[in-house]
Chains A and B, each alone.
Chain A
Amino acid sequence: MNRRVVITGVGPVSSIGTGADAFTESLKAGRSGISPITGFDPTGFPHIHAGEVDDFDPKGLLERISPQDWGRTSLFAASASRLAVTDAGIDPTELSRSAAGSCMGTTGGESQVLEALTEHALTVGFEGVDRDRMGQIPSSRLAVAANRELGLTGEALTLSTACSASNYAIGHAYDQIHTGEQDYMLAGGADSVNRWSHAGFYRLGAVAERDCRPFDKDRTGIITGEGGAVVFLESLESALGRGARIYAEVLGYGLNCDADHMTAPNKDSIVQCTRIAHGNAGIDQSDVDYICAHGTGTPANDLTEATAMTEAFDANTPPISSVKSMLGHTMGAASGFSAIATVLGMHRSFLPPTINFAMLDPDIPHIDPVPNRAREQTVNIAQVNGFAFGGNNAITIFGRYA
């Protein structure tokens, strides 16, 4: 079986809006979701901003699972999944009877639960912590929460390949439908803001004080973020059969590994990953007319990524913007949000902007970061970049379905 695979539903739960319409509006307006941290006590941190989902309301979004039984990240995954299914307009009962599953990417999983228990253990020891909360730590629960919320009996797989994990998940889901192993898949990622990763990135000198400014000459780092980003995938035949709205087609993807350094990005490896993705999607590099960047806003990532894209596209790099300028770095959900932004842009003919942008880094002269304002443009083929610790590169390719 070699089925074509399309995205017919999106479920963003983000700091710039929950649901397709609110998220689209914010992307078009170039809205920032960055605010002072409230998810943990940031006292003592010199940089205290993050992209938190302040209005996250799992009770209002979820229909089946109980919020108190699950960690925040699982609730993001399940809520985003519920939204994606509703957005796809498929009958939930029919869906639950089908060959359907989920694949969720993450960096930290439920580590904010572990962190809270660790803090409590400082006074009472691990013996004294909440036992039920201890059972919420396994990361497998992200995908299981999505399956249980939707009553899906197929595979529930959490891929914890850090900050490119959503791209891994979308790729895996694509394979499952492409080969006929499953008929419907929910795929994306989720993460929650926490102290330990805020501290770790800050210690690496990689956290910006107030604004994330990808590709800008004065960029200073990431802003940590959170949320749930899930897309609903099915075969083209299935989507046409039920008259579904098609946001975009998944054309293929590429994965590779730097096998070089745990935290430093590797230009050659990113170039190679781009070629693998294009080859798998059956496209030429000149076909790509938009890149949704990994674009974290750190000096190292953006220089490496932009240089790699310039090389991979023979200095004819299409417009490349970073939604992290608005959302912050949502870690395992990041490429999921990028995929959602990309397919919404494809469907509604606009490019999401890179906000907070003042002046291009002179070391990356061949880049058009779509500065500050969304741009009206037809996008036929787009590429979504996701890179991670461990050298885990993942690039997905989407095509307009018309």
Chain B
Amino acid sequence: MSTQAQQTLAITGWSAVSPIGIGPDTFTESFNTGARGNTDVTEMFDDEPLPRSDAFAMPDFKAKDHLGRKGTSFLDRSTALAMVACGGALADAELVIDEDNAERVGVALGTTAGSVKSTSDYGRATFVEDKPYLVNPLIFPNAVMNCAAGQSAIRYRLKGVNATLAGGPAAMLSGLRYARTQIGLDRVETLVVGATEEFGPQTAWANEFAMRAGGGELSAGEGAAMFVVEDAARVRDQGRVPDAEVLAVEVATHVPDTESDLSPDFSASLARCIDRALTRAGITPDEVSTVASAENTMPATDRYEDSAITSTVGTAAHRIRVKQQLGEAMSASGALQLAALLAGHRSGESRDGEVSLLTAHTPDGVVGAAVLRGWRGRARASE
């Protein structure tokens, strides 16, 4: 096993933008008290009908309320959510960007397909305008998937590695793995890692079709969460207390026996991921106190995920089903699962040092697991 493989990351600040609250403190309080984010969304989009009247969305979210007017009126929703989360995470970590460190700080941002509404609307304009090229050049970058990462870098002057990871529900885990490699090989010192997903007619219908096909009932969601990630050894050496150490992250592809199987049982592949993550983290199954799962009311996939979890760490660990409170928010869901775990630690010192497991899977067969050890975190510990 390589030295890089044992690289441990520390999370030294984070923020979440979600229907149950914006910012780490509000999110922590709301999540821990069981708040659910579904709300009436019938007034959100006047041009497109939605599949249902509710969603785990933020109808009142306006970029300019959080980021000011200048440079925000043409932002897409997915980008604005990410930018607010990115700024919040940097502030929470008290990480000040200046000339000296700007090139050593970067972004690794998860998405499913970017701002789907922007891309769809751009295509739509080519069909409905008098000429197909009468599209708005200012919002062309919004239709490209790396917009949120690029705009976040511009706003906060982050000149280091800037990556967009299109991993859907597993993007958060891919982002942590990407950070482990990039930081481990000293390509960058600090990465703001997270994921963003917007609610819109396109994603709402995509979720609706997926839920109907899979027998689930959960509404679509939106949000973003970002985490400031550094080398854990460095954080320890500097005597700082992180919010968490990421002890291991494993992902795999479940290749079904036959390609015609539309809902293959991925439990064995996910269980292997969890096992491998625990082994690499040096954690025994009974040490896991909390599991943040990706269960989303689809009976078959929930069963596969549950089976993988119980076959590896048993049933004693507390299970938090983040999507029950925050909906199916695709790539953002993975990030909100992590935020939910950290919210559990931020509320008090009683859980310092506890170990958590996070699991994820995508409709196309990627499975993954992360093992973390959390604390109440830096300044909060002395409050």
Q: What is the interface of chain A, defined by CB distance below 8 A to chain B? A: 1, 42-46, 64-66, 69, 96, 101, 106-111, 114-115, 117-119, 122, 125-127, 129, 131, 134-135, 137-142, 144, 147-148, 151-162, 168, 172, 175-176, 178-181, 194-197, 199-204, 255-263, 269, 272, 280, 388-392
Contacts and interface: CB of A to CB of B under 8 A. Distances in A.
Given A157-B178, A392-B150, 8 more contacts: A44-B132, A65-B259, A107-B145, A140-B364, A160-B146, A160-B164, A195-B132, A257-B158
Give 5 nearest A-B pairs by CB, closest first: A390-B150, A139-B166, A257-B162, A115-B123, A160-B145
B125 to A, nearest CB: 7
Interface in B150-168: 150-151, 153-154, 156-168
Given A140-B170, A390-B150, A114 B259 contact: no
A259 B255 contact: no
B300 interface: no
A137 B145 contact: no
Nearest to B125: A199
A168 to B, nearest CB: 6
Nearest to A116: B123
B123 A194 contact: yes
B184 A179 contact: yes
Interface residues of B, number: 92
B146 A388 contact: yes
A114 B150 contact: no
B96 interface: no
A129 B212 CA distance: 14
B201 interface: yes
Nearest to A391: B150
Contacts, number: 288
Given A127-B51, A148-B259, A196-B122, A389 B162 contact: no
Contact of A196 (B119, B168, B185): B119
Contacts of B363: 135, 138
A108 B144 contact: yes
A138 B202 contact: no
B265 interface: no
B28 interface: no
B166 A259 contact: no
Contacts of A203: 133-137, 140
A222 to B, nearest CB: 13
- Of B111, B114, B116, B150, which is in contact with the most chain A CB atoms at under 10 Å from its CB? B150
Interface string B38-55: 000000000011010000
Contact of B164 (A43, A114, A161): A161
A119 B133 contact: no
Contact of A181 (B132, B158, B181): B181
B324 interface: no
A393 to B, nearest CB: 9
B187 interface: yes
- Of A106, A129, A158, which is in contact with the most chain B CB atoms at under 10 Å from its CB? A158
B216 interface: no
